[in-house]
Amino acid sequence: MSTMVEITLDGESARVPEGSTILDACRRKGIDTPTLCWAENLTPVNVCRVCVVEVEGSRVLVPSCSRNVEEGMVVATDTERVRTSRRMVYELLASSVEMDRATPEVLAWMDHYGARPDRMGDRSEIVTQAQPVKVQDDLYVRDYERCILCYKCVEACGDDAQHTYAIATAGRGFDAHISTEHDVSLPDSACVYCGNCIGVCPTGALMFKTEHDMRDAGTWDESKQSVTTTVCSFCGVGCNLELHVQDERIVKVTSPADHSVTNGHLCIKGRFGWQHAHA
Amino acid sequence: MPDLYFGAGDEATEAEKDAVAEALADYGPVVVRETERLVHAGRSRTRERRHLLLPALHALQRSAGWISPGGLDHVCGELEVPPAEAYGVATFYHLFTHDPPAADNTVHVCDDVACRLVGAVALIDDLRVEGYHVKASPCLGQCERGPAVLVQRTGRPDLTVTAVDDGPVTTSEVAVAISSESSTPSVSLAQTGSGDLRLLTRVGVVDPTSLDDYRAHGGFRALEEALRMGGDRVIAEVTASGLSGRGGAAFPTGVKWRGVADQEGRPRHLVCNADESEPGTFKDRVVMEGDPYSLVEAMTIAGTAIGAEQGWLYIRGEYPVAIGRLRHAIDEAYAEGLLGDDVAGSGIRFDLTLRSGAGAYICGEETALFNSLEGYRGEPRNKPPFPTTHGLFGEPTAINNVETLVNVPPIVLMGGEAYAAVGTKQSPGTKLFCLSGRVKRPGTYEVEFGATLRDLVDLAGGLIAGSEVRAVMLGGAAGSFVGPESMDLPLTLEATRAAGVSLGSGVVMVFDQHDDMVDTVRRIAEFFRDESCGQCVPCRVGTVRQEEVLVRLRRGADIEDERELLDDLAAVMRDASICGLGQTASGAIRSALDLGLLVSSGDSQGDRS
Ligand SMILES: Cc1cc2nc3c(=O)[nH]c(=O)nc-3n(C[C@H](O)[C@H](O)[C@H](O)COP(=O)(O)O)c2cc1C
Ligand code: SF4
Ligand code: SF4
Ligand code: SF4
Ligand code: FES
Ligand code: FES
Give per-residue pLDDT as tens, B122-156.
999 999 999 999 999 999 999 999 899 999 999 99
pLDDT at B297: 98
pLDDT at B607: 42
Q: Is the CB of A272 under 6 A from ligand 2?
A: no
Task: Test B572 with A84 for CB contact under 8 angstroms.
Answer: yes
Residue in B110, B124, B276, B519 to alter for ligand 6 test, most ligand atoms within 8 A of Cβ: B110
How far apart CA B92 and CA B70 sit, in angstroms, is 19
Residue in B243, B362, B372, B401 to alter for ligand 1 test, most ligand atoms within 8 A of Cβ: B401
DSSP label at B294? H
pLDDT at B200: 96
pLDDT at B10: 83
pLDDT at B270: 98
Q: What separation in angstroms does the CA of B245 have from each of B221, B255, B391?
A: 23, 11, 17
Give A24 Cα–ligand 5 centroid separation in angstroms.
13
Q: Locate the chain B residue with the closest alpha carbon to A156.
A: B41
User: What SS3 class is residue B286?
Assistant: helix
A82 shares its domain with A19: yes
How far apart CA B334 and CA B349 sit, in angstroms, is 12
Is there a contact between B109 and B135 (Cβ–Cβ < 8 Å)? yes
A140 shares its domain with A273: yes
| Residue bearing the bigger pLDDT, B49 or A187 | A187
Strand boundaries in B275-328, DSSP class E: 310-315
Mean pLDDT of all residues in B593-609: 64
A79 shares its domain with A146: no
CATH class of domain segment(s) B517-594: mainly alpha
Q: How many residues comprise chain B?
A: 609
What are the φ/ψ torsions at residue B463 (nearest 5 degrees)?
-80, 155
**What is the residue with the minimal CA distance to atom 1 of ligand 5?**
A35
A248 shares its domain with A223: yes
The reply to whether A126 falls in a domain is: no
- Residue B3's pLDDT band (cuts 50, 70, 90): low
Mean pLDDT of all residues in A244-268: 86
Which CATH number among 3.40.190.80, 3.10.20.600, 3.40.1530.20, 3.30.450.40 corresponds to the domain B430-512? 3.10.20.600
- Around ligand 3, the residues with Cβ closer than 6 Å are A 147-153, 178, 200-203, 205-206
Q: Which residues pair with B244 in a beta bridge?
A: B252
Q: What separation in angstroms does the CA of B460 have from each of A256, B142, B189, B608?
A: 68, 16, 11, 21
A111 shares its domain with A191: no
Is there a contact between A83 and A113 (Cβ–Cβ < 8 Å)? yes
Summary mean pLDDT of chain B? 92
How far apart CA B55 and CA A143 sit, in angstroms, is 35
**What is the residue with the minimal CA distance to atom 20 of ligand 1?**
B247
CA angle B34, B36, B39 (to 5 degrees): 115
**Residues B312-368: pLDDT tens digits?**
999 999 999 999 999 999 999 999 999 999 999 999 999 999 999 999 999 999 999
How far apart CA B60 and CA B12 sit, in angstroms, is 10
pLDDT at B164: 74
Q: Is the link from the previous residue into A63 a cis peptide, with omega within 30 of 0?
A: no
- Residue B603's pLDDT band (cuts 50, 70, 90): very low
DSSP label at B472? E
pLDDT at B608: 42
How far apart CA A172 and CA A205 sit, in angstroms, is 19
Nearest CB partner across the interface for B85, out of A63, A165, A182 = A165
Range of the domain at A228: 131-278
**Residues B247-294: pLDDT tens digits?**
999 999 999 999 999 998 788 999 999 999 999 999 999 999 999 999
B49: left (phi over 0), alpha (psi -120 to 50) or beta: alpha
Helices B517-531 & B587-594 angle (0-180, nearest 10): 160
**Residues B480-528: pLDDT tens digits?**
999 999 999 999 999 999 999 999 999 999 999 999 999 999 999 999 9
- Contacts with B572 from chain A: Cβ below 8 Å: 84-85, 88-89, 92
| Residue bearing the bigger pLDDT, B263 or A159 | B263
CB neighbourhood size of A26 (10 A):
23
Mean pLDDT of all residues in B378-390: 93
Q: Is the CB of A37 under 6 A from ligand 5?
A: yes
Rg of chain A over all Cα atoms, to the nearest angstrom: 20
CB neighbourhood size of B559 (10 A):
16
pLDDT at B49: 79
pLDDT at B606: 42
pLDDT at B217: 97
| Residue bearing the bigger pLDDT, A47 or A101 | A47
A155 shares its domain with A254: yes
Mean pLDDT of all residues in B38-46: 46
- Residue B31's pLDDT band (cuts 50, 70, 90): very low
Q: Residue B45: is its pLDDT beyond 50?
A: no
pLDDT at B44: 47
Q: How many helices (H) and strands (E) does chain B have?
A: 24, 15
Enter the CATH code of domain B211-420: 3.40.50.11540
Q: Hey, what's the torsion of the CAs at A107, A111, A116, A117, to 10 degrees? A: -10
- Contacts with A47 from chain B: Cβ below 8 Å: 40, 535-537, 578
A95 shares its domain with A170: no
Query: Dihedral of CA A214/A218/A222/A228: which sign?
Result: negative
Q: Which residues pair with A152 in a beta bridge?
A: none
Task: Name the minimum distance, in Å, from the CA of A59 to any CA of chain B.
Answer: 8
Query: Dihedral of CA A205/A206/A210/A211: which sign?
Result: negative
Q: What separation in angstroms does the CA of B566 have from each of A125, A166, B483, B548?
A: 17, 39, 21, 10
pLDDT at B43: 45
Which of A94, A121, A148 terminates a domain? The answer is: A121
A81 shares its domain with A195: no
Q: Locate the chain B residue with the closest alpha carbon to A189.
A: B7
Enter the CATH code of domain B105-179: 3.40.30.10
How far apart CA B423 and CA B241 sit, in angstroms, is 11
User: What SS3 class is residue B606?
Assistant: coil
Is there a contact between A154 and B40 (Cβ–Cβ < 8 Å)? yes
The enclosing domain of A37 has a CATH number of 3.10.20.740
Mean pLDDT of all residues in B166-176: 86
Q: Residue B589: is its pLDDT beyond 90?
A: yes
Q: Where are the domains of chain B?
A: 14-90, 105-179, 211-420, 430-512, 517-594
CA angle B231, B235, B236 (to 5 degrees): 115
Of B560, B563, B565, the closest CA to residue B545 belongs to: B565
* Nearest ligand (C-alpha, residue A193): 2
pLDDT at A2: 74
Task: Name the minimum distance, in Å, from the CA of B381 to any CA of chain A.
Answer: 9
Which of A88, A121, A154 terminates a domain? The answer is: A121
**Residues B102-113: pLDDT tens digits?**
899 999 999 999
Of all residues in chain B, the percent with pLDDT exceeding 70 is: 93
How far apart CA B291 and CA B300 sit, in angstroms, is 15
Strands B310-315 and A140-142: unpaired
Is there a contact between B267 and B309 (Cβ–Cβ < 8 Å)? yes
A240 shares its domain with A267: yes
Q: Is the CB of A194 under 6 A from ligand 2?
A: yes
Task: Test A158 with B41 for CB contact under 8 angstroms.
Answer: yes
The reply to whether A100 falls in a domain is: yes
Task: Test B534 with A175 for CB contact under 8 angstroms.
Answer: yes
Q: Is the CB of B146 under 6 A from ligand 6?
A: yes
How far apart CA B474 and CA B495 sit, in angstroms, is 13
Which range has the worst mean pLDDT, B129-138, B170-179, B466-475?
Answer: B170-179
How far apart CA B360 and CA B70 sit, in angstroms, is 24
Q: Residue B602: is its pLDDT beyond 80?
A: no
Mean pLDDT of all residues in A243-254: 90
Atom of ligand 3 nearest to the CA of A144: 1
How far apart CA B108 and CA B182 sit, in angstroms, is 16
Q: What separation in angstroms does the CA of B432 have from each of B323, B405, B427, B435, B451?
A: 21, 13, 13, 10, 11
Mean pLDDT of all residues in B468-489: 97
pLDDT at A61: 98
What type of residue sits at position A83? Answer: R
Q: Which of A99, A120, A169, A180 to substitute to test the interface with B, most B CBs within 10 Å?
A: A169
Q: Is the CB of B142 under 6 A from ligand 6?
A: yes
A174 shares its domain with A139: yes
Which range has the worst mean pLDDT, A204-208, A267-271, B149-153?
Answer: A267-271
Query: Dihedral of CA B314/B316/B317/B319: which sign?
Result: negative
Q: Which of residues 5-64 of B touch A (CB under 8 A)?
A: 5, 7-8, 37, 39-44
- Residue A278's pLDDT band (cuts 50, 70, 90): very low
The enclosing domain of A237 has a CATH number of 3.30.70.20
pTM for the whole thing?
0.95
H or E stretch including B269? strand B269-274
Task: Test A173 with B543 for CB contact under 8 angstroms.
Answer: yes
A85 shares its domain with A165: no
Q: Locate the chain B residue with the closest alpha carbon to A188.
A: B7
User: How many structural domains comprise chain A?
Assistant: 2
Q: Residue B39: is its pLDDT beyond 50?
A: no
Q: What separation in angstroms does the CA of B79 have from each of A100, A206, B49?
A: 42, 30, 6
What type of residue sits at position A158? Answer: G
What type of residue sits at position A188? Answer: D
Which of A76, A99, A121 terminates a domain? The answer is: A121
Give B354 Cα–ligand 1 centroid separation in angstroms.
17
Q: Which of B390, B541, B566, B573 to substitute to test the interface with A, most A CBs within 10 Å?
A: B541
Helices B253-261 & B292-306 angle (0-180, nearest 10): 50
Q: Which of residues 91-150 of B touch A (CB under 8 A)?
A: 91-92, 98
A149 shares its domain with A220: yes
- B551 shares contact with chain A (CB less than 8 Å): no
How far apart CA B168 and CA B377 sit, in angstroms, is 36
- Contacts with A81 from chain B: Cβ below 8 Å: 571, 575
CB neighbourhood size of B33 (10 A):
11
pLDDT at B143: 95
- B383 shares contact with chain A (CB less than 8 Å): no
Q: Residue B462: is its pLDDT beyond 50?
A: yes
How far apart CA B390 and CA B12 sit, in angstroms, is 37
